[in-house]
Each structure stands twice: as structure tokens, then as C-alpha cells.
Chain A
Amino acid sequence: MAEPIITVQNFSKSYGDFVAVEDISFSVQRGEIFGLLGPNGAGKTSTLETLEGLRESNGGSLSVADIDPSREPGKLRNVIGVQLQSSGLPETITPDEAMKLFCAYHNVGPRFDLLERLGLQDKRNTQFVELSTGQQRRLALALAVAHDPPVLFLDEPTAGLDVPSRVELHGMMRELQTAGTTTILATHDMAEAEELSDRVAILLNGKIVSIGTPLEITSKGAGLTKVSVRVVNSTLDDPNLRFPAVNQQTFKEEYHIYFTTDVGPTVSAIIKHIETHEDKLIDLRVQRPSLEDRFLELTNVGGDR
């Protein structure tokens, strides 16, 4: 296991009487993509912004690349890249100017190649206010990675992006990971978190209610696995037909759909039934509960059970 590059221990954050984050701890390994998930007001932004040095913590300790964000903000700037949820650039600045300005403050040469890579080559001299939302997000990402930071914070990075831009951005994130960049990804897009993250933490009411790999988190849930089967003949048409571990079953668009608590015995029994009755299997699909299903389950019940 790689060494942790980010550690959060017993971190708390309050605003007056309102406790936004309460005594949370987690660590992120070097080169990991770590998803921070949670509904609005769960404490994601407070956690991220304290790690980014934008806020002071009310308790606990935080470390980013061996730097305390609140005590050494100057050193922190060069080791983190941040794509804020609101793009945070002046209306009249052009991508070229923004790249020159931010790179100058980071003491590195401007990375115009990133603008081309992210599809902004024709917009380099267009004012920020005239860029589409997707172009603004891509510019924010280009600026965040221009100084090659070892730690990257991305807040809703693909919000407002079209499919090709989204694919490009995902590819870029994986490339950065291969190069050793650690990414903390805050997103509402569960499919994105499940696809990209090595591990995720789900925050609810300021506490971590679940943490682990997407597979570990989804496997802990009570969600039913969906088994969809299509056959040539009418072997499965009998409404009284029952397979092991199946809770519900239905028929839709030529598929027999079974919701099971234990996928192994259910699939084995279905295949055996088809073979026994000399029918022919056309298609069989197994869909495990997604991270989104698990997220909804957790946010409804308030944590792991």
C-alpha cells in the first residue's frame, strides 16, 4: 500500500452553532482517486475547502503532502491544484491570459498545450464570460493542473460538460493518476465516482457513513441484484415458476427480470431450467446494485447497518 499523502484526523468544522463536519477521519494514498460523496449540506465542501486552505478547522488535524493547510498556506499553493465548483475567474479574462497569470504566480511557464488538449484552442482569446459552461469548466481544470501539482481537488469537474469533453476529462484524470497525481473528487455523479474512484467516502450530516472501494460499499448494501433473461421459447413464461433467492419478478420487452438477494443460486437455477426444458438462451444480464443505489440507501437510513 502506498503512503498516505492526505490525512484527516478527527476533523470538525462549525459555523456558529451549526456543526458542518463532526470528528471525521480518513486518509488518501499517493496516486489514489478518492471520491467524496454526499448530499448537499453533508460537509463535503467544508472538508475540501479546509484541505485547500480556504477555511480554518475547528478541531482535529489535517495534512496535505506533509503541509498543514492552515499554517503553511504559501507552501500549500504549489502542491495543490483546485478546480472550484464556481469557476472563479474575471469575466473579461481570456484563457491565454488566465494561463499566463496563474502560471506566473506558480513560477512555471504557461501550459498552452493544456488548452489545446481540452479543446480550447479556438477560444484562447475569447473572454471568459463568452465561453460556454463546459468550456469554463475545462479552462478551470487546465489551470488547476498547469503547475503539475501532486494533489488535485476537483469539485463537480464534469458538471455541464458534453459527452466527448467528459470522456476527455476522465482520460486526463487517469493519465494524471498514472503520473502519480492524487485526486480528491467531490461529485454528485455516482456513475462517475464509481467509474473513476479507487475509494469513496460517503458523508452525511457531517459524518462519514461509509468508506471503502465502490465494490466494498455496494456489496454492504441490502440492494437486490437484477437478473434479466431472454430465451427463444416460452420456458420461463409460467407465472408460478420460482427460482431461489428471488424476491420479485417481472416481464418487460421480451426479458424475464428477476430481483435476487443471492445471484449465484438464482442464475444457476435459471440456466438449469432452460437446459432441462430444451430452450435456448439469447441473452442474460446481471446488474449489481450501483453506487447510486447504495448511496440512496445510506442517505435514506443514515449510515451503514
Chain B
Amino acid sequence: MNAFFQHFSFEFRTGVRNRNLLLLNYLFPLGFYLMMGFIMVEINPMFQKDLIPAMVVFAVLAATLLGIPDPLVTARENGIFRSYKINGIPAFSILIIPALTTILHLIIVTAIIVISAPLLFDAPIPVNWAYFTMTFFALAFACSGIAILIGVISASSRVTVLYSQLIFLPSMLLGGLMLPFSLLPTAAAQAAQLFPATHAMNAFRGLVMGSGADFNVWLSITILTVSGFLSYGLALYLFSWDRHNAARRAHPAVALLVLLPYFAGIVLTLL
């Protein structure tokens, strides 16, 4: 327990101490939130009711997808995992603790957004806090799982950026953060359901904000949760200790299995 605490404590401090992580955990999400609050609400008053969920989803995407993978790749390439292995630090801790500390940073950022948005931008607050908490954790679980999976399968930092952006950018465009899901063309709406942000926004709207869901909210929560379990499991399965040990349990393409619940979701909404 002491080992877990020491490791967690160090990783949490790293989230503030490391300039890149400080940027992705706090400065980028909060800066974007303020910009959207001041500009977007003026341009599109309809956005006001989505401000809190959209900015919480954005914070989760930035801190997890952009923040988690690269330190994992860098640590593996620099021999830090080898050093950890020699000293008995298990793969489980190496993967889970950075995800947990990122979620803790996200809780702080989310609290700042939720408290300040009604005061600064007159944004409506969630009508159901229990569902808000549940949706937040389901999204954080799914995104952090995908993020550590990207970190595990990426061969270099450059590849990490590519994989992360493959999810981050479409999530921003199609995930319902900027543009309501209902306004998307059919094909784009189906593609949007491949991303956790879409399901989180759907659940936030339907369960938390009382503004009506675009499709089954419980399907969204289930997809996020299953995706989380699947990606954490795959990350542990595909984990390798160092770049010299090329032998993995399976080809990195196995990571694509994480898309299964999202495809299943598309099929189920079509039925």
C-alpha cells in the first residue's frame, strides 16, 4: 500500500511539475474553456447549455489522449520501465497509476469548470449530479484506457501523436462538443459513434443536463464502460518493458479490438 501511495504521489506531482502535462492537464483545457465561454457563447447562445459538458469532455480528451501516451512511450524508450522492472514495480502500476492521477487532475479541472461556468457565463448546472459523476467517470475510464493503449502500442512519440490525433480531432469535430449530434449528416453521425466523446455528450445531455439524448443514453454508458475495460485489458496484455524486447504477446493491431463496443453501438442504434 505504501508503494502504491508513493508511486501515486510521485505521478500526481509529475502531472503539475512536467510542463507538457501541466499544459495538457490544466492550462489547455481551462484556457480553451475560458475562450469558448467568452467567445462561443456570444456567437452561439445555444452553446451556453452545453458549455459545462462540452468543456468537461474536452478536458478529458486533452488530458488523457494527448497527455498520457507520450510519457509512457518516452519512459519505455529511455529504459525507465527496465529500471522499474528490476526494482519490482509491476506493469499494472506503471499503466494504472498515471491514468488514476490524470483522472484526479481532471476532477480538479472539472470542479473549476462546474463552479465557475454558472458564475462567469451563466451556464446551466447539471440537474442530476449522480449521473454527472457516473458519466464523467465512464468517459475518463474509456479515454484513459484508450490513451494507455496508444502509449503501449506506439513505437515512438511521433506515432503516438498520430494515433492520439486520429481520435482527438474527429472527437472535437463530430463528438457533439461544437456542433450538436442531431445536425450531423447520417454517415457522419454513424462515424461519430466510433468516438467516446459522442457517447459522453449524449449521456451528459440525456441524463445530466435534461436537454434530451440523441440515442439511448444507457447504451452510451455501457459502451464507454466496456471500452474502458477492454482497453485496459488490452494495454496490460500488449505491454512490453523496453524497446529491446520486441516480442509482444500479440501484434499491436490487436488493439483495434477496442473499437468493438463502438461498432456494436452503431449496429444497435440502427436496429
User: A residues bordering B, Cβ < 8 Å?
Assistant: 52-55, 73-74, 77-78, 80, 82, 84, 86-93, 97, 100-102, 104-107, 127, 143
Contacts and interface: CB of A to CB of B under 8 A. Distances in A.
B78 A86 contact: yes
A232 to B, nearest CB: 60
B17 interface: yes
Contacts of B2: 104
A84 B82 contact: yes
Nearest to B88: A77
Contacts of B44: none
Given A54-B245, A90-B14, A104-B7, 17 more contacts: A53-B85, A54-B82, A54-B86, A55-B245, A77-B87, A78-B88, A82-B83, A84-B83, A84-B86, A90-B75, A92-B17, A93-B14, A97-B10, A105-B3, A106-B87, A107-B3, A127-B17
Contacts of B87: 77, 102, 105-106, 143
Contact of A86 (B10, B79, B241): B79
B75 to A, nearest CB: 7
B193 to A, nearest CB: 37
Contact of A54 (B10, B14, B78, B242): B242
19 contacts: A53-B86, A54-B85, A54-B86, A74-B88, A77-B87, A77-B88, A78-B88, A82-B86, A86-B79, A88-B80, A90-B75, A93-B10, A93-B14, A101-B7, A104-B3, A104-B5, A104-B6, A105-B3, A105-B87
A170 to B, nearest CB: 23
Interface in B1-25: 2-3, 5-7, 10, 13-14, 17-18
4 closest cross-chain pairs (CB), A and B: A88-B83, A77-B88, A104-B3, A88-B79
Nearest to A153: B86
Contacts of A104: 2-3, 5-7
Contacts of A73: 85
B86 A80 contact: yes
B80 A89 contact: yes
A229 B120 CA distance: 90
